[in-house]
Amino acid sequence: MPLPPPDGSGTSSIAAGWVTARPESDAATVERILDEELQRMTHESVTDDELLRAGALIESSELAALSRMDEVADRLSMYTTYFDRPELVNEQLARYQAVDAEAVRDVCAEVFGGDGRAVLTYVPRTEAEAAA
């Protein structure tokens, strides 16, 4: 989920998602169901359980990443280059943990609520198509 930069300025971002469907699934149906779920997220807040699970996954991921020196160096460089604030490396986890269900809904409404999207559908060839 995109968070605004620490300096309070606006943000630009790209959100990407993917679905791996069963072979018998219809691509149009899968796309419709995904779109319905994204639209639901623009109107309804995530549940407490969903927020707790996401928070635990983010915390685990952040702490694991910061246990590697190469990742710490990359982040220090990034925060210095983009914000002139290398100390942000110590602040990001708290920023993620401060996100509540309403903030998730608001960001979903901003990111998924419009029509500025591209959909790519990759469908494997059938055996007959592959043999031709």
> Per-residue pLDDT tens for 62-113?
999 999 999 999 999 999 999 999 999 999 999 999 999 999 999 888 888 7
Does the model's pTM come out above 0.95? no
Supply the pLDDT for residue 128. 82
Supply the mean pLDDT for the chain: 87
Q: Residue 113's domain is classified under what CATH number?
A: 3.30.830.10
What is the distance between the alpha carbons of residues 87 and 78, in angstroms, rounded to a whole number? Answer: 11
The residues near 104 (Cβ < 8 Å, ≥ 6 apart) are: 1, 41, 45, 46, 51
Supply the pLDDT for residue 1. 42
Q: Is residue 63 part of a domain?
A: yes
Q: Is residue 64 part of a domain?
A: yes
